[in-house]
Amino acid sequence: MPLDHCHPRTPHEKLRLPNWFVSSLMMDRALDAIIRRAKSIDRKHDIPYVAGYSLDGRTIYIDRHLPRTMNYHGREIDTDRFLVLHEEVEKTLIDQLGLHYLHAHQIALRAEQAAVRSAGIRWRDYDRFMQQFIKRLDDERLKKVPSDLDLKPYRDEHDVDLLQRMLASEKRGGLPEGVGKQEIRRALDEVKAHAKGEAVANGAA
C-alpha cells in the first residue's frame, strides 16, 4: 500500500526506553500498523469534510480533490496516512464503544495531531493546509458521493444543509440510480426531528 511506511519490515523489538516514554519512532510504527490494516482506501469520490468511511468500515474515503502530498520545508509529506489514522480511530470508537461522533472525532483528532507532530511537522501548518481544502470542498456541489458513505458524522453534527446538498446531488444524477437516496433522506429526517425536539425542550425550559 503506497502510504510511505516508515518501517515496513522492521521487527517490533523493544526500544531501550521506558514504556511510558513518548517515542516518535514507536508512533511511526503504530501508524504503519494501522495503515497496513486498512482494507481499502478510495480517492475517487467527493467526500464532505475531506475524509470519511463506509458503513461497514472497510473503506476509508479521501476526497478526490485533496492533493496526495503537502510540501513542508522542501519535504513532500504524504498526508493520507494521517487521515487514515484519524478515520480508523474515529470509526472504531463509534462502532466498538458506541461513542457519539463528536467525542470520537475529538479523540481521533488528537491521535492525528500526535502523528503529525511525531513526523516533525507543526500542527498549525498541517491544519492550515487541510483547512483550505475543507472550506473549498464544503462549498462545492457534491457530484460523486459513494453509496455506502457513513452519514453518522453529518447526522450527529446536525448538518442539514450538507445533507440536503447530498440529496440534491443524487437528484441531478450524481449518484447511481437509487443508490444512497434512502439513507440520505433518513439521516435528514432524523436531524430535523432531533432539532425540532431540542427546540421544544428549550421552549419548555
pLDDT tens for the chain, 205 residues long, are 445 545 444 454 554 555 544 567 777 777 778 888 878 999 999 888 899 999 999 999 999 989 999 999 999 999 999 999 999 999 999 999 999 888 999 999 999 999 999 889 999 999 999 988 875 544 555 778 888 999 888 777 656 666 666 666 666 665 544 445 677 677 667 656 655 554 444 444 4
Which domain does 170 fall in, by range?
Answer: 24-204
Determine, yes or no, domain membership for 140.
yes
For the chain, the domain total comes to 1
Q: Strand pairing of 69-72 and 75-78? A: antiparallel
Angle (nearest 5°) at CA 117 between 125 and 51: 65
Determine, yes or no, domain membership for 46.
yes
Determine, yes or no, domain membership for 14.
no
Q: Strand pairing of 51-53 and 40-42? A: unpaired
Determine, yes or no, domain membership for 12.
no
Determine, yes or no, domain membership for 2.
no
Which among 5, 3, 103, 96 is positioned nearest to 57, based on CA atoms? 96
Determine, yes or no, domain membership for 158.
yes
SS3 155: helix
- Helix-helix angle 24-37:101-118, to 10 degrees: 130
Angle (nearest 5°) at CA 156 between 148 and 131: 80
